[in-house]
Amino acid sequence: MVGETRVSSPLLEARGLVLAFGGVRAADGIDLDVNEGEILAIIGPNGAGKTTFLNMVTGYLRPQAGSIRFRGREITGLTPRRIVRLGIARSFQIPQLFTEHTVLENLALQLAAREGFWAPFAPLLSRARSERALALLERFGLGELASVRADALDEGARKLVDVAMATALAPRLLLMDEPTSGVAASEKHAIMDRLVSALRREGVTAVFVEHDMEVVARHADRVAVWSNGKILAQGPPATVLADPAVHREVLGVEVAPC
Amino acid sequence: MPLRLAFAVGFLALALLAALQPWLRFVLTLALATGLAVLGIMMLLRAGQVSFGHALYVAVGAYTIAFARPQLDDVLLLLAAAVLAAVVAGILVGLFVSRYRDIFFGMLNLAFSMVVYSLLEKLYWLTRGTDGIRVARPRLFGVALEGARYEWALFALALVCVAIAAALVARYLRAPAGEALSALKTRETRLEFAGVSARRVLFQAYVVSAGLAGLGGGITALATLHVTPLLVYWTHSGELVFVAILGGTANVLGPFLGAVVFELVRVHAAAAFPDAWQMILGLVLLGIVLLAARGLVGLLEELGRWWGRRV
Amino acid sequence: MELLLLLALLDGLAYAAQLFMVAVGLTLVFGVLKILNVAHGSLFAIGAYSASTLAALAGTPWLSLLALALAALAVGAIAGPSIERGLLARIYDKEQVLQLLLTFALFMILEDVQKLVWGVQPVFEDAPVRALGPVVVGGIVYTAYQLILLPGLAVVCLLFLVWFLRRTVTGRMILAVAHDREAAEAIGIDSRRIYLLAFTIGAGLAALGGALAAPTTSLVPGVGVQTIVLSFAVVATAGLGQIEGAAATALLVGLGRSFAVYFAPELEVVVPYLLMVIVLVLRPSGLFGGRELRRI
């Protein structure tokens, strides 16, 4: 949020990432830059290696070859914990919530992770923390669910809480894995509008995996198309989405009627 | 606050019992000591982790008092030494076991406790083997107390320890690191992706639980004035787990409620069925696990709800 | 000195053989059911006590050998299915901690069952050992039972398991369920039957381990807990679910312990755990285990 000295290099630089599971090459020489302040969409068929890429950037999987640099610093092989402290947060394709806690407590735990986590006797739901958690929930239209236990939420709400939790970490780079899949079509755009404008306002760089081309066209500055562990094409949405090769690979396979 | 009220009522009831039935003073003191150890186990249970070897720290506390008694003649100093020793042991073992979950966590704890059991039995020159070590009755605040007065003092001291420990643990469980225990159970990955070391969350609770068990062991040693390797035998660890499940993990009252009920029943039942005591415990535990009940505290809550509907 | 070394070697081999039988059962059950049966050691103990009782009834030494096998078979065939169907089947979808508590409760119960049936006095019956008589190796008089029968059976057991699991249809079905239960069910494997089978084999191996150990030692209460803790140490050192790994580690632990008995007696009980801790610090998933990742 603080205007730092402009660095000429991209915020995130991935070079030659390779990762194979058995015979499947989930990453087969991925080169990708993510520039400061941009919002990048990743599209591609299931199994193309989109989540694997997020997993490598966030330290859950270690690439067998290649390097990942964040703000010029090598982060390949660091643990998820170290990487999130450097400013990369993520949301998950399968929501990862603390199911015995309420939605508010889920958010508060994320906020606490940034400061005051180890204070042994200060309550998690201090007034200040509760208020900030509630404000974050409001942004996603989740205010009314604050006191609902996470395991009682429907799929769409779970997904949004998961994204809200990632934003609570106030990252410089936010990675979102299908942030609105499972969310009702009628709410999807409103929520993405609010989320994206908040990200832009706060200067957060974001990468999101998405299957809904309408969402991509509307919110992404740039699109990267994944196919069989490789990047097939990248560029502005208007150009990329009009590319016949992309159509064949992505839209041809799974154009959804939504 | 209803929890504080419950504790106050409980303390009064215990004091009354102890006054009416002098022999119960001893039993109730032991129950409170057990409750302290179980309080720590309950913290770990919240993280979904069960230690089958926590009697280790009870024994560390108790043997510390036995070893230190010739040099130290003060109840409070001895208890402090017991807690300190248990905390140190908890740090050493905890650094290792906090890397593991579930089966490994449970069984590694059991393995450590059984190694210590064998050592206590074998190193006769140090521990006098299965005979154990007698502890001379220490002074309290420089005063030498006899018989009943010593028992009363110890009982009161146990109540104070319980009150302090329960209050502190209750606050800890509401703090982020305490709330993170059940977060660790439900979604450990997410904790790591928030930048929190799940291992440290568990380690910290583990060390606290070791300290609490050490305090319980210390009080036990001061009450029985005799320590033996049986303190660390697996059956004792099993009893602690049993009481934790019996009491439930909903709040800090559970361990003490469970412990008092357990010790009072044991006084009668264990004598009646000396060879089937573990079996009875096992059967009850089986029942609780299969019926997925939430222990005595859960039962009380159900009763409360039922009562609420009637009124 | 050389005699001592040889003696330690022979003791270690015999001990490793016993350890392997019980540990491999534990690791098999875990590999398939994903449950660590804390009562596994109790099945070992019950197998041992039953074998002693039957062997004493057998009359002739040779029949007593047969009695061992019979006892193991009976314990495995009765305890295995009744525990799996009656208890474990109810909790496969529950939290890990409840699964652990359930087998722990069973362990508490079975430990007292032993006391109620066989009492607390030591039980000793070595007719099977006498049946095979002594052999002389390098100037040491050793029992053929411990020198030949135990290690021989352990090797047969290992080879049989490896052949059964990898070469037969049923075995491959067990491995398929162990690898991925849902995928196995999708191709039509009845995982309930596989669980039952795997648990019964595991229980049978525990009982067999106990039955074979019975003639070489006097049985006292506490055998069960010693066995579960020790076989867990073996299985954890090897890596959960590793069969050949369990064999190699049993050998390592068996030899380590017997050498400690002769050369550093005060370390005897500590050696297996020392090994385990060192291995786990260096390789958290065991000597032969691999890491597993959850899908997120």
Alpha carbon distance A79, A62 (integer Å): 9
Residue B221 inside a domain? The answer is: yes
Q: Do the Cβ atoms of B103 and C96 come within 8 Å?
A: yes
CA separation for the pair A231, A228 (Å, rounded): 8
Is residue A210 assigned to a domain? yes
Same domain, A161 and A212: yes
Return the DSSP state at A194.
H
Name subunits touching C (3+ CB pairs < 8 A).
A, B
In a domain? residue C273: no
Q: Residue A71 falls within a domain, yes or no?
A: no
User: Structural domain of residue A117, as residue ranges?
Assistant: 98-152
**Is B11 among the domain residues?**
no
- Residue of B115, B112, B54, B127 lying closest to B86 (CA atoms): B54
Residue A116 CB-density burial (10 A; 0-12 exposed, 13-18 middle, 19+ buried): middle
**A75-93: average pLDDT:** 94
Highest mean pLDDT among A157-161, B228-232, B272-276, C220-224: B228-232
Residue C243 belongs to some domain of the structure: no
> What residue in C sits closest to B48 (Cα-Cα)?
C97
Going residue by residue through chain C, which has 296 residues, state the pLDDT in tens, using 9 for 90 and above: 788 899 999 999 999 999 999 999 999 999 999 999 999 999 999 999 999 999 999 888 889 999 999 999 999 999 999 999 999 999 898 888 888 899 999 999 999 999 999 998 999 988 888 888 888 888 888 999 999 999 999 999 999 999 999 999 999 999 999 988 999 999 999 999 999 999 999 999 999 999 999 999 899 998 998 899 899 999 999 988 889 999 999 999 999 999 999 988 878 888 888 888 889 888 888 888 876 656 66
Q: What is the model's pLDDT at position A249?
A: 76
Enumerate helices (H) and strands (E) in chain A, giving the number of each: 10, 10
What total of structural domains would you count in chain C? 1
Q: Are A105 and B179 in contact (CB under 8 A)?
A: yes
Cα within 13 Å of Cα(C30), Cβ side: 26
Strands (E), B7-161: 133-134
Among A135, A152, A169, the domain boundary falls at: A152
Total number of domains in chain A: 2
User: How far apart are alpha carbons A196 and B303 in whole angstroms?
Assistant: 50
pLDDT at A252: 60
In angstroms, the CA B33 to CA B82 distance is 13
Strands C140-143 and C134-137: antiparallel
The alpha-carbon radius of gyration of chain C (Å, integer) is 19
Q: Is residue B224 part of a domain?
A: yes
Domain membership flag for residue A19? no
Query: Residue B176: which of A99, A100, A112 has the nearest Cβ?
Result: A112
- Calpha distance A170→A163 (Å, rounded): 12
* Residue C92 included in any domain: yes
Task: Please say whether the beta carbons of B83 and B215 come within 8 A.
Answer: yes
Q: Indicate whether B18 belongs to any domain.
A: no
Same domain, A118 and A170: no
Residues A143 and A240 in one domain: no
pLDDT, residue B103, reads: 87
Instruction: Evaluate whether residue A199 is within a structural domain.
Output: yes
Nearest to A15, CA basis, from A41, A53, A51: A53
| Structural domain includes residue B93 | yes
Look at residue A3 in the predicted model and tell me its pLDDT. Answer: 46
Using a CB-CB cut-off of 8 Å, the residues of chain C touching A93 are 296
Whether B2 is in a domain gets the answer no
Residue C258's pLDDT is 92
Helix axes C191-213, C223-238, angle to 10 degrees: 120
| Region of poorest pLDDT, from A245-249, B147-151, B290-294 | B290-294
Domain that holds residue B191: 26-310
Q: Do C102 and B286 touch (CB under 8 A)?
A: yes
Main-chain dihedrals φ then ψ at residue A36, nearest 5 degrees: -55, 130
Q: By percentage, how much of chain B surpasses pLDDT 70?
A: 99
Q: Residue A254: what pLDDT? A: 46
Residue where the block lists tokens 């102890």: B18
**Within-domain flag for B120:** yes
Report the relative pairing of strands A24-34 and A173-177 from DSSP bridges: unpaired
Most confident of A194-203, B157-166, C89-98: B157-166
Both A113 and A92 in a single domain?
A: no
Q: Is residue A33 part of a domain?
A: no
Lowest mean pLDDT among A121-125, B131-135, B261-265: B261-265
- The answer on pLDDT for B55 being more than 50 is yes
> pLDDT tens digit string along A43-66?
998 889 999 999 999 999 999 999
**Residue A1 has what pLDDT?**
43
pLDDT in tens, B128-160: 988 999 999 999 988 899 888 999 999 999 999
Say yes or no for a CB contact (<8 Å) between C104 and B285: yes
Residues from C contacting B (CB-CB < 8 Å) are 30, 36, 38, 87, 90-91, 94-98, 100-102, 104-109, 111-113, 115-116, 120, 225-226, 229, 232-233, 236, 240, 266, 269-270, 273, 276-277, 280-281, 284, 294, 296
Strand order in the sheet with A65-70: A24-34, A12-21, A65-70, A73-74
- Mean pLDDT to the nearest integer, A238-248: 85
| Residue from A56, A118, A161 to probe the interface with B (highest B Cβ count within 10 Å) | A118
Q: What's the alpha-carbon Rg for chain B, to the nearest Å? A: 19
Interchain proximity B176–A117, CB inside 8 Å: yes
Tokens of B301: 């809550």
Q: Are residues A159 and A147 in the same domain?
A: no
Label residue A255 by pLDDT band (50, 70, 90).
Answer: very low
- Which residues neighbour C2 within 8 Å (Cβ) at sequence distance 6 or greater? none
| Total domain count, chain B | 1
Which residue would you say has higher pLDDT here, A249 or C119?
C119
Task: Mark whether A218 and A193 lie in a shared domain.
Answer: yes
B139 contacts B13 by C-beta, under 8 angstroms? no
In this structure, what token pair is assigned to residue C255?
């030899």
Helices B2-20 and B22-46, interaxial angle, to 10°?
A: 150
Angle between helices C243-263 and C271-282 (to 10 degrees): 130
Q: Chain C: give the shortest CA distance to residue B260, in Å.
A: 21
Cα distances from B86 to residues B29, B38, B108, B206, in angstroms, run 20, 15, 17, 11
Chain A closest-CA separation from residue B197 CA (Å): 7
Q: Which of A119, A152, A185 is the last residue of a domain?
A: A152
Q: Are residues A244 and A186 in the same domain?
A: yes
Residue B14 lies in a domain: no
Neighbours of chain A (3+ CB pairs under 8 A): B, C
- The answer to whether position A91 is within a domain reads yes
C49 is in which domain, residue-wise?
Answer: 11-221
Residue of B45, B193, B208 best to disrupt the A interface, most CBs of A under 10 A: B193
- Cα–Cα dist B282/A193, whole Å: 57
Measure Cα distances from B136 to B23, B128, B140 in Å: 20, 16, 13
Rg of chain A over all Cα atoms, to the nearest angstrom: 18
